[in-house]
Amino acid sequence: MACFHIVLVAPEIPQNTGTIGRLCVCTDADLHLIRPLGFQLDEAHLRRAGLDYWPFLTWSVYENWEDFLERNHHPQRLIFCSSKTKRSIYDFAFQEEDWLVFGNEGHGLPPHFYEQYRDSLYTIPMPGVHARCHNLANAASIVLYEALRQTRWSCKAAQLK
């Protein structure tokens, strides 16, 4: 079982997804990709960004959000990361096997998520005034490493390293 799960809803840029795949291998997290994807899964940019780590990645692709929910037995601890909320990820108490959900680079999460999951929306604080949001791969790294820090890398796989 993975320590954590990274869920990308309709990612658009293959380099970001490749980098996040590499992040997942480095941290024993699983990657979940929800269609539509803005690239082909065999695209060279995706593989290049993930380097030679891609064969070691545990990942799944879903046709849509409902397919994701159904195939994962409606996970209870979904944490939605967005620049369109005020609650900080640093105020959230992460637990092993949480599902960290990110929207795409161009539009963020689907509009109905902001109402449907409003109690599970968190942001990465950004004191800078000239940027709208972090790069998707950077945001996934920040949130995942905060989750690992809070759980003190207590996952069995992380303890073996």
- pLDDT tens sequence across 27-38: 999 999 999 999
Q: What is the CATH number of the domain that holds 124?
A: 3.40.1280.10
Q: Give residue 11's pLDDT band: very low, low, confident or very high (50, 70, 90).
A: very high
Domains in the chain, number = 1
Q: Quick one: pLDDT band at residue 131, thresholds 50, 70, 90?
A: confident
**Most distant pair of Cα atoms in the chain: their distance:** 41
Residue 17: name the closest of 68, 70, 53, 64 by CA.
Answer: 53
Q: What's the mean pLDDT when you consider all of the chain?
A: 91
The better pLDDT of the pair 155, 146 is held by 146
Q: What's the whole-model pTM score?
A: 0.92
Q: Which of 47, 46, 59, 55 is nearest to 8 (CA)?
A: 59
134, 136, 141, 147 alpha-carbon torsion, rounded to 10° = 90
Tell me the mean pLDDT in the region 86-94. Answer: 96
The parent domain of residue 70 ranges over: 5-160
- Condensed to tens digits (0 to 9), the pLDDT of residues 136-152 reads 999 999 999 999 999 98
Model confidence over 17-63: pLDDT tens digits?
999 999 999 999 999 999 999 988 887 777 777 778 888 999 999 99
